[in-house]
Copies of this chain bind each other. A is one copy, B any other.
Amino acid sequence: MNMRIQLNEKEIPRQWYNLSADLPSPLQPPLGPDGNPISPDMLKPIFPNALIEQEVSQDRWIDIPEEILNILLTWRPTPLHRAKALEEALDTPARIYYKNESISPPGSHKPNTAVAQAYYNKKEGVKRLTTETGAGQWGSALSFACSLIGLQCKVFMVRISFDQKPYRKIMMQTWGAECVPSPSNETKAGREVLEKNPDTSGSLGIAISEAVEAAVTDKSGQTKYSLGSVLNHVLLHQTIIGLEAKKQLEKAGEKKVDTVIGCAGGGSNFAGLSFPFIYDKINGAQIDIIPVEPWSCPTMTKGPFLYDLGDASGMTPLLPMHSLGHNFVPPPIHAGGLRYHGMAPLVSQSIVEGLISPLAIHQLECYQSAIFFAGTEGIIVAPETSHAVAVAIREAKKAKEEGKEKVILFNLSGHGLLDLSGYDAYMGGKLEDYEFPTEELEKNLEALKDFPKPKMVKTGQN
């Protein structure tokens, strides 16, 4: 009924793919508070040298160190599944494939970069990493990686997820990490937010401010910061997903893929699957590449391409990206990992250049699709992943209407076993779809009006 396409140990990709090398127009640099480009040196208090080099690298292929591969090999290469049961239930001529990142011990794609980041930090003598987490996937993954590699780890977890998902905190603690709800009283950034709004549900932007502050204010100099998405080096580490998937599709006898889908919060799992296919597209292949976001946090479809801060209080440089404004706090949807105000610069520029076509959808359709998927394919996906599932189902139905034998590939970025309260609320009829808060967007964008503007690189959607 189903089909699982495996790769053996020797077939694991040994290099990451760097999209920066191939974008039609060069990526624009991050800017400091003075509006001038940030030099790599200015990032040294936050990141180890190896990651800064990757952040600005223009090399197309970057070697994966043996030590990182050895850890990745404990669960990679991950399987590619042909979703035969789903296809049959939809009675579609489409062939649907999904890359199953849920089998990593923390249950998502996040350890692909967590292991790499922990490794490079350890190698340069760092003793402790701080980070933020939304849904908890990233915090779990970094805790896991730090535990295996031998680093301390402190996680600032967005308050709404901290409350909705108590098991996430226990998971991080089991791997020896410390986890606190954000905003917290432990940082200046956190205290400022709590003073203004003590009942805030928090946001990734705020949590990032706290985590960066906690790293740079550590007097020992042995603490650095780690980010789970958005930045170039993070997306780079995730490209192992798409590189494996290409080999697996070939093994499955597929000569081409028509549609590639991933959910996108900061952009890392989407980038991981899709960037190797964007490479093909730049080189002439016809592929629809769709990042999917929540209707209530539509960074790519409603947020303009501009320079904005990565966090709420200005601890980060200005990044060229699609953004809803760094103070945007989205409605409390269950897909906590998709509640970020910005989008990775590499993904944002791919939109501007017309290489990918973002889509925003409501959470009720996502849960409905996720339950249909669980009943046919057997995997209970994360609320974030349900966005990709929903669009894969839409595309399969469209293929049926058009009578086309399409090949659809999506990223099953994580399982939902730690996020079941959302399923419970959905099945109990307690979930609603939120309309997008247009007024809040306008207010937030108004606050950015004096920021420098990125150069427009090509005629894009904006």
Contact = CB atoms under 8 A, between A and B. Distances in A.
Copies assembled: 2
A456 interface: no
A105 B144 CA distance: 21
Given A6-B6, A8-B6, A174 B144 contact: no
Interface residues of A, number: 44
Interface in A370-398: 371, 374-380
A173 interface: yes
A224 interface: no
A180 to B, nearest CB: 16
Contact of A71 (B2, B73, B174, B418): B2
Interface stretch (A198-206, A214-222, A420-428): A420-428
B6 A420 contact: no
A73 B374 contact: no
Interface in A185-234: none
A147 B420 CA distance: 18
Interface string A88-117: 000000000000000101010000000000
Given A1-B67, A74-B81, A105-B379, 10 more contacts: A4-B9, A4-B74, A147-B378, A148-B376, A148-B378, A170-B421, A170-B423, A171-B380, A174-B427, A175-B380
20 contacts: A1-B148, A2-B73, A4-B9, A4-B73, A6-B6, A8-B8, A74-B81, A144-B378, A147-B375, A147-B376, A167-B167, A170-B424, A170-B427, A171-B380, A171-B417, A174-B371, A174-B374, A175-B375, A175-B380, A417-B417
